[in-house]
Chain A
Amino acid sequence: MTIAIVLLAVVVGAYLVAVLERWSVHGQFSLSGPAVSALALLGRESLLARTPDRLFFEAGPILLLVAGLLGAAVIPLAPGLIITDLATGALFLNAALAYVLVALIMAGWGPNGAYGLIGGWRFLGQFIAYAMLIVMPITAVAMRAESLMNTQIVLSQTQLWNIAYQPLGFVLFVVAAMGLAWLPPLDLPSAPGDLAGGVEAEYTGVRLGILRLARMVIILVMASATVTFYLGGWLGPVLPAWAWSAIKTLIVAALMLFGGRYVPRVREARYLAISWKLGISLSLANILLVGVIALVVPI
């Protein structure tokens, strides 16, 4: 039963993220827009490139979707409303999302096209940039909760949300999350404009539909992970717990989707340099700071 409810939440959430994305890109709010696009994709011919690596071409989008769904499995929507509350939940989220990289390399390599190939390998570089900035802020979050269990992480924020407790970690995590979900200005693997769609370039029809759906799920998972780690998850007054999760997640997703639109796309090398030189130093400082606060102030 819980699995069915969470899956339904993921479907509805992914749809709403698609509505938000459409709004941020085209400037028009349309609740039916993504459904129309999806139907159009289903009706279109699904082309196959010449001499593809067929296995990777077919498996890439599906693996991407599976990675997103596995990530969603460890995120609590309300007390008790979680597919599996693993003792290593926060780490498991990372493990699941590491396969976003594998899926994009497969999807980029599969069709045997230059744009896809470059897009897929670009994401590897992007991964090297954002990976540490996902893991290290989570370390600080787990330090405060004294647990890797995601429900425990939410409960540790009863007195004070982590966004106030470790604002530096929040900023680092959100930016890294945008890199993971390849949202502008970090949309290097798809890069409309300079890579003609990149990883998505050779996909059409149903396969493109799955790829897009998977990306929406990943954006949703990153937004809800931000809510779980920094915005007190389901905690909040008056409204039921699940409603708070939903509202916060949609607000974070909207901020991620709209915020990046106003920044020019970051070049690969520059992104790596900033992430390693500035980002990692700041995350280490964040860990130190949180450690000191956790030892001195009991909140």
Chain B
Amino acid sequence: MTLQVIFLAFFGIAAVWFGVVVFRTHSMVRSALALLFSQTAIGAMFLVMQAEFLGVLQIMMMATEMSVMAIFMVMFMMDPGGMGAMDMTHQKRLSLRAGAVGLVAALAVIWLPDWGPIAATVPSAGEQIKLLGFELLGRSMFIFESAGLTILTAMVAATMVAIAPQSETANKGARDGA
């Protein structure tokens, strides 16, 4: 139990530290990957708390998502390598206030509600996957399916917006040819 707490604290501090690095570095790629390792540390926290499936899923999903984010950051910023020592922070006053409000809200959520008794035993990892499966295909099915459909629609729409219409490309080709 003590060991568990030590590891939990370690990964928690690591997550916060990498979160700080996101804003302290000048490089876009470093920033994106620091966010990735912050999220990975949160995944490790799930593992320490014996939520194996969630932990592994978090560690897996973030690797892809943050890498994709990194390439967009590189594409859109003028100084992706940070060689011009660009500052990652802006609107400092507003950010500070928003951060303070967020902190207070998080602490309130932690302390104010009645969380009920602490679970004495954790179901085995295999049991957890089974329970999660029943949850996803039972009570929460509608929520997840509608979320999935919404994301799919957004993906299709985004791709359609990105692709130039056939007629437009054909006309452009004709103009260029002439």
Stretch at the interface among A85-93, A185-193, A236-244: A85-93
**Closest Cβ–Cβ distance, residue A52 to chain B (whole Å):** 10
Q: Is the CB of A88 within 8 A of B52?
A: yes
Asked whether A124 and B125 contact (CB < 8 A) given A53-B29, A86-B52, A94-B60, the answer is no
Q: How many residues of B contact A (CB 8 A)?
A: 26
Q: Complex formed: what's the CA distance from A287 to B60 in Å?
A: 21
Question: Which of B63, B64, B124 touches A87 (beta carbons < 8 Å)?
Answer: B124
Cα distance A154–B64 in the bound complex, in angstroms: 28
Main secondary structure of the interface of A (DSSP, over half): helix
Asked if B60 and A124 sit within 8 Å, CB to CB, the answer is no
Q: Is the CB of A131 within 8 A of B52?
A: no
Is A204's CB within 8 Å of the partner chain B?
no
A121 beta carbon closer than 8 Å to chain B = yes
B74 contacts which chain A residues (CB < 8 A)? 121
The answer to whether A140 has its CB under 8 Å from any CB of chain B is no
- Complex: A284 Cα to B89 Cα, angstroms: 44
Interface Cβ pair total, 8 Å cutoff: 67
Asked if A88 and B33 make an inter-chain contact with CB atoms under 8 angstroms apart, the answer reads: no
Contact A95 B60 (CB under 8 A): yes
A9 close to B (CB within 8 Å): no
Which residue of A is nearest B28, CB measured?
A109
Pick the interface stretch among B65-73, B93-101, B102-110: B65-73
Q: How far, in angstroms, from A62 to B30 measured CA to CA in the complex? A: 17
How far is the CB of B72 from the nearest CB of chain A, in Å? 11
- Asked whether A106 and B53 contact (CB < 8 A) given A53-B27, A87-B129, the answer is no
Q: Given A91-B56, A148-B129, do A121 and B71 touch, yes or no (CB 8 Å)?
A: yes
Stretch of A19-27, A97-105, A248-256, A291-299 that contacts chain B: A97-105
Residue of B nearest to A103 (CB): B63
Whether B81 and A95, one on each chain, are in contact in the complex, defined by CB atoms closer than 8 angstroms, is no
CB neighbours (8 Å) of B71 from chain A are 121, 124
Residues 105-132 of chain B, each 1 if its beta carbon lies under 8 Å from chain A, else 0: 0000000000000000000111011000
B36 touches A102 (CB 8 A): yes
Q: For A94, list chain B residues within 8 Å (CB).
A: 60
A148–B126 Cα distance when bound, in Å, is 8
A92 to B56, CA, bound (A): 6
Name the 4 nearest CB pairs between A and B, nearest first.
A87-B125, A95-B60, A98-B63, A87-B126
